[in-house]
Amino acid sequence: MVYHMPKLKATFTLDEQTVARLGRTAKQLSMPKSQVVREAIGEYSARIGRLGEEERLRLLRTFDEVVPAIPERAAPEVEREIREVREARRTGGRWGSDKA
């Protein structure tokens, strides 16, 4: 059984270039202009929140620059440093109570 959603009429103001593109697209796809608009809106709304290709490539370049700069240290060494920093905070910092 096929269900169809009720359709509503809507009026939009578009520039001539957009109307021409809509007409060419509908003709190339052999479908009504309204269907082209529905499908275009569906695809556009599905992309909201996703990165565009340019932004994705920029973030990948940043990642490729940052990751090699992360020092390679053994986990026990990192844990020791964290313990030292926490202890220093509890006792007033690296300079203790003799701060100038």
Residue 26 placed within a domain: yes
Residues 40 and 32 sit within 8 Å (Cβ to Cβ): no
Residue 45 lies in a domain: yes
Domain count, the chain: 1
Domain assignment present for residue 71? The answer is: no
Containing structural domain, residue 41: 14-49
Full pLDDT tens readout for the chain, 100 residues:
666 778 888 899 999 999 999 999 999 999 999 999 999 999 989 888 888 889 999 999 999 999 888 888 888 998 999 999 999 998 877 665 555 4
Assess if residue 30 is contained within a domain.
Answer: yes
Residue 24 lies in a domain: yes
In a domain, 94, yes or no: no
Residue 92: C-alpha distances to residues 17, 34, 87, 95 (Å): 68, 70, 9, 7
